[in-house]
Amino acid sequence: MRENLEDLYLGLEGDLEDLSALNLYSRHARANVKDLGPGRYAIKAITEAGSERVIRFAFELARKREKQRKVTLTSKYNMLAKADGYFRDIGFEVAKDYPDIAFETFIVDDFLCRMISRPEALDVVVMPNLYGDIMSDGAAGLIGGLGLAPSGCYGDAYAYFESAHGTAPDIQGQNIINPTATLLSACMMLDYLGLGDQAKRIDQGISQLYAALQWIPKDQGGTASTEQIFKALEDIIMTH
């Protein structure tokens, strides 16, 4: 789970020079901002509402899951004690409402090492926007690449769904793009609409397709074309 509206993504950037009147002193750099020389800044904003919303969503998701029922929160709360520390503080507050769900926090660099070395020890993970942007692609890499990773962006009353990968212009028109990420995004959408049984039909069809080892897309080491995969998947889904 990644917050998706704020953090460093507000687009509030500019020249360091514009901050000189604020007389900001960096205790880390032991210098006033106006003495840093030419450069740029970007504002990182961690709001109470934005943080609570995504953290609560993570706990609700954990509650729906059958296995570990755990939320792991990560941010850089040591170096960014105020902003990222706030995200973590809100995590501890929200956790009080979910005594049935385990809760733990790791600094983001430690988290990344854990995610790579023992991903099975994690369940639902939640973090601010920038870390989530990076970690989600890393997590996709762990399971075989962006061709497999779906995504959903959930608001209070609306949601949209898209594959985690980009537009793959290098393979356009070659009929080899892996449809798995898009299909799984559709499954997330069906779940969101309350059509969970139909989502399961597709999801299980994809599992069967991979397990059969016959129609593996190129990015996963196979030779199946996009069209062949859709045809095979449709055969599985419509006959079950």
Partner 1 sequence: MSQFNVAVFLGDDASPEVMKPTVALLERMQLPIDFVYPTVGSVALESEGSRFPEASKNQVDRADATFFGSTSGDSTEALFYLRWGK
Please tell me whether residue 198 binds partner 1 under the rule CB under 8 A: yes
CB of 176 to partner 1, least distance (A): 9
Give the C-alpha separation, 148 to 236, whole Å: 19
Please tell me whether residue 137 binds partner 1 under the rule CB under 8 A: no
Please tell me whether residue 87 binds partner 1 under the rule CB under 8 A: no
Contacts of 116-119 with C-beta under 8 Å, sequence gap 24+, read 116/142
Exposure string over 60-78, b if 16+ CB within 10 A, otherwise e: ebbeeeeeebbbbbbbbbe
Please tell me whether residue 179 binds partner 1 under the rule CB under 8 A: yes
Please tell me whether residue 44 binds partner 1 under the rule CB under 8 A: no
Exposure string over 143-181, b if 16+ CB within 10 A, otherwise e: eebbbbbbbeebeeeeeebebbbeeeeeeeeeebbbbbb
Choices 40-48, 50-58, 103-111, 224-232; region in contact with partner 1 by CB under 8 A:
224-232
Please tell me whether residue 130 binds partner 1 under the rule CB under 8 A: no
Please tell me whether residue 209 binds partner 1 under the rule CB under 8 A: no
Nearest partner of 187 among 165, 205, 167, 166, judged by Cα: 205
The only residue of 106, 163, 203, 215 in contact with partner 1, by rule CB under 8 A: 163
| Residues making contact with partner 1 (CB under 8 A) | 4-5, 153, 155, 158-163, 165-169, 171-175, 177-179, 181-183, 185-186, 189-190, 192-193, 195, 198, 201-202, 226-227, 230, 233-234, 237-238
